[in-house]
Chains A and B, each alone.
Chain A
Amino acid sequence: MELTKELEEAIVAPGPQGFHPPSAAELGVLTPDEGYGLKFGHVVEEERAMEAMAHTMFTRKNATIFPGPMVLWAWNDHAADKAKAVLELAAQIPDVLIIPMPDYRPKYPKVEPEEVINPNHPNLTIWGNKIEVCIFIGVHCHYANLTLKMIRAGTNCWTSAICAEQGHEDAMFTVRDSDATKIRRVAAIFKRVREEMGIKLPENGSNVRFTGLQSRVHDGKTNTNPLDFTIETPGDGNAAAFGHKAEHMQKEA
């Protein structure tokens, strides 16, 4: 799949766009309706947006998944299920990095780019790891908007947003209403595109690459298999214990 023509017509083009570029909304880009996604600011069927995400994650350097709090924390069973789906998606991308955005507090005096990404200065993690393509998933909308604009302004990183709500117009590619089922659909499309491109995964399944810091924490291991890790289900002290159910995390009817 060649994206050259689309790039020429892009409304939301990859950066660096310079200091304080106009937001996608200022450029007239609205979030897509149900069943649709965005590709460079244009509304497309969501499957086309997913294919574009896959293509770029397989072709650009240092592909990275940035999981946010809504899939990092066991808020409830649904969040745990989504986290599993994210790992299944990661399992389809060779040499992928996973760098979490566990919260939104500014990290001072210094961000450790091999440890976290922070919405207040995401460019530091992008630059620090030379990331040229990434997927955000499970980040609260307000902070995803902030982050995506900053990345487009100051880096050459292509961004995708797999969003549980309306999608993100400031990402190059986005799909909306992403519950665990849809994330698994994204993973299936990644698998298809990868096989069409003839890209193979490591035979031992260890396709997730550690950052330097992650590697040091894991006794020098350089890679790991995302499907080896079990997701712990919600237990005492979490949201489920306070009566919150999986439906609370799902899209309203």
Chain B
Amino acid sequence: MSEGLEAEVKTNPQGDPITSAPAAPSTTSTNGGRKDPHGDAKRQVEVSPDYMFFEAPREREFITGSECAKEAVRRSNVDLSVAYPITPQSETLQLIGVLYGEGYVKEFYRGEEEYGVMSAIAGASRAGVRCFTATAGPGTLRGLEPIVSWSGHRLPAVCMFTCRVVNAPLAIQPDNVEIAYLLQSGMIVFHAENQQDLFDFIMKAFVISEKNDVTLPVGVCCDGFFVTHARGYCSMPDKGFKLPGRDPYRGSVPVLDAQLDCLVMLQFKNLILWPTTFTRCGSRKYGLALNGQGNILRNIWMDC
């Protein structure tokens, strides 16, 4: 990423402003007179979901569905987004890439193909971070196996589906066939009928999917082109606000490797079974259960 060299105003290939949302107040730093490209993102303030959805003043904009998705992700404190282009979704993830450049999304890359993207989302969500991706039509079916694994693993990931014809005849027009598959995948499925729905549903999807008593992926579907590429009115809270980050401790399943990170202390070790020996391997300690003669009963953590 080109640190500090971002242009003042980004444009998409059509030459339009990336979003018609009003620019934030000037946030120039003293860094040689250059604007900190992450400055606005750093100044975002976390607010409660209740405030974000029901109390924060909103301004109405006339923007495309893809831009609505971008603005939703901007306010959703997303940690990771993985992209793979497919019409009509490509523009959405392209705009998320712009958010990455601006520091609103912490990590972003293009996957190998949809199977790899959805697998990466599975791993990242399991690791405890907030994830967002999007796909469409054939991409949905190509990534379906790992998508189905999300719900089985109780992963709170959010995926946007800009629905289109899958194939035969090959076309890129809107179609809802892929939703039939998603409805059988164990995930929660929303269908956004317009740009406003898309903005609201994406943000609420993060909150709902991460609720302890939900802990499931959410798919936010919409018609490709009719919603993604058409402009509509969308009321949005100020982009200086963002949702609280994901709290990985609150899921109904533990996040991956959390125990390894916390392995230094086993609080009951003296009381129960691990009384005597802790060995250090690299930066981590491993507990060994010893019997009275000092023989290892079980090497408890080496297989972590």
Q: What residues make up the interface of A, taking CB atoms closer than 8 Å to B?
A: 31, 67, 69-75, 79-80, 83, 87, 98-100, 102-104, 112, 115, 140-143, 165-166, 208, 213-214, 216-220, 224, 226, 229, 231-232, 234-239, 242, 244, 248-249, 252-253
Contacts known (A143-B253, A218-B275); A234 close to B265, Cβ less than 8 A: yes
> Who on chain B is nearest to A145 by CB?
B252
Query: Of residues 239 to 275 in B, which have CB atoms within 8 Å of A's CB atoms?
Result: 247, 249-254, 258-259, 261-268, 270-273, 275
- 12 A-B contact pairs sorted by A residue (CB < 8 Å): A72-B266, A73-B259, A80-B265, A98-B268, A214-B272, A217-B273, A218-B275, A229-B271, A232-B267, A237-B261, A237-B263, A237-B264
B265 and A104 within 8 A (CB): no
B266 and A238 within 8 A (CB): no
Cβ of B289 < 8 Å from any Cβ of A? Answer: yes
B residues in contact with A231, CB < 8 Å: 267
Contacts known (A217-B292, A239-B261); A71 close to B275, Cβ less than 8 A: no
Cβ of B290 < 8 Å from any Cβ of A? Answer: yes
> Who on chain B is nearest to A115 by CB?
B273
> Who on chain B is nearest to A239 by CB?
B262
Report the minimal beta-carbon distance from B75 to chain A, rounded to whole angstroms. Answer: 19
A242 to B261, CA, bound (A): 9
Give 4 nearest A-B pairs by CB, closest first. A141-B252, A74-B265, A142-B252, A83-B267
B residues in contact with A140, CB < 8 Å: 251-254
Contacts known (A100-B273, A142-B154); A216 close to B213, Cβ less than 8 A: no
> Who on chain B is nearest to A244 by CB?
B249
A100 to B266, CA, bound (A): 11
A140 to B249, CA, bound (A): 9
A31 to B284, CA, bound (A): 39
Contacts known (A142-B215, A166-B212); A213 close to B262, Cβ less than 8 A: no
B265 and A232 within 8 A (CB): yes
Cβ of B291 < 8 Å from any Cβ of A? Answer: yes
Report the minimal beta-carbon distance from B216 to chain A, rounded to whole angstroms. Answer: 11
Task: Count CB-based A-B contacts (< 8 Å).
Answer: 116
B249 and A75 within 8 A (CB): yes
Cβ of B298 < 8 Å from any Cβ of A? Answer: yes
> B interface, how many residues as a size bin?
35 or more
Report the minimal beta-carbon distance from B284 to chain A, rounded to whole angstroms. Answer: 7
Cross-chain contact of A217 among B252, B263, B275 (Cβ < 8 A): B275
Contacts known (A69-B259, A237-B284); A142 close to B273, Cβ less than 8 A: no
B264 and A141 within 8 A (CB): no
A residues in contact with B249, CB < 8 Å: 70, 75, 244, 248-249
Contacts known (A98-B271, A100-B272); A75 close to B266, Cβ less than 8 A: no
B residues in contact with A219, CB < 8 Å: 292
Q: What residues make up the interface of B, taking CB atoms closer than 8 Å to A?
A: 48, 154, 212-213, 215, 247, 249-254, 258-259, 261-268, 270-273, 275, 283-284, 289-292, 297-298, 300
A residues in contact with B289, CB < 8 Å: 115, 217
A74 and B262 within 8 A (CB): yes
A173 to B65, CA, bound (A): 48
A126 to B247, CA, bound (A): 33
B residues in contact with A166, CB < 8 Å: 212-213
Report the minimal beta-carbon distance from A126 to chain B, rounded to whole angstroms. Answer: 17
Report the minimal beta-carbon distance from A195 to chain B, rounded to whole angstroms. Answer: 25
A239 to B128, CA, bound (A): 13
A208 to B215, CA, bound (A): 36
A226 and B271 within 8 A (CB): yes
Report the minimal beta-carbon distance from A54 to chain B, rounded to whole angstroms. Answer: 22
A residues in contact with B267, CB < 8 Å: 71-74, 79-80, 83, 231-232
B residues in contact with A67, CB < 8 Å: 268
> Who on chain A is nearest to B271 by CB?
A229
Contacts known (A75-B258, A140-B251, A217-B289); A238 close to B271, Cβ less than 8 A: no
B258 and A100 within 8 A (CB): no
A71 to B272, CA, bound (A): 13
Contacts known (A100-B272, A236-B264); A69 close to B284, Cβ less than 8 A: no
A residues in contact with B215, CB < 8 Å: 141-142
B residues in contact with A75, CB < 8 Å: 249, 258, 262
B273 and A214 within 8 A (CB): yes
Contacts known (A98-B271, A214-B272); A73 close to B212, Cβ less than 8 A: no
B259 and A224 within 8 A (CB): no
A98 to B271, CA, bound (A): 9
> Who on chain B is nearest to A240 by CB?
B262
Cross-chain contact of A238 among B212, B253, B265 (Cβ < 8 A): B265
